[in-house]
Amino acid sequence: MNQYTKEQKKEYFQSLRNRWTEAKKQYSENEITAVDAIIETHGLKISRFGFLFVKIQMEKQGLDGLPYLDAKTFLGWKKNGFMVKKGEKSTLDGITWIGVGEEEDSGKFEYMFPKQYHLFHRTQVEEIIN
């Protein structure tokens, strides 16, 4: 298992924060409202900026579809009856925020840090046939 220095971890987390911030800046209120409607319609359990973060990557790579419907984690595809094709590598990633040190009164966290996870597009999977 890799051991990282405190500086390397700090740099890594800062780069994730910077990517997240850039994604938030790229969209207008109207576009964000449209994303909220998509999330609600499909019952997705993702934040609007998490959705947009992945959507930006999909557009840059020329991938069609919607984040979290057409791009899922390895386990997400498996739960839906699909398997990632042999040799395929994840080209998309998402960020979730982990809270540390929850305050009892407010329920808010003292500190939040980003955690990266990897997604596969629907073109990288095949249906599991029993």
68 inside domain? yes
Domain encompassing residue 23? 6-127
Split into its structural domains, the chain has a count of: 1
pLDDT at 89 over 70: yes
* 88, part of any domain: yes
In this predicted structure, the answer to whether residue 110 has a pLDDT above a threshold of 90 is no
Model confidence over 45-86: pLDDT tens digits? 889 999 999 999 999 999 999 999 999 999 999 999 999 999
The two structure tokens encoding residue 35: 């994303």
Lowest mean pLDDT among 88-92, 94-98, 124-128: 94-98
Asked if residue 111 belongs to a domain, the reply is: yes
What's the token pair of residue 46? 């993702």
Residue 69 lies in a domain: yes
Q: Is residue 1 part of a domain?
A: no
On whether residue 30 sits in a domain, the answer given is yes
**Nearest residue to 59 (alpha-carbon basis) of 69, 67, 49:** 67
Closest CA to 72 of 97, 38, 40, 45: 45
The answer to whether position 110 is within a domain reads yes
| pTM listed for this prediction | 0.82
Classify residue 83: in a domain, yes or no.
Answer: yes
Alpha carbons 55 and 52: distance in angstroms, whole number: 5
Phi and psi (nearest 5°) for 37?
A: -65, -40
CA 100 from centre of chain: 20
**Has residue 23 got a pLDDT over 90?**
no
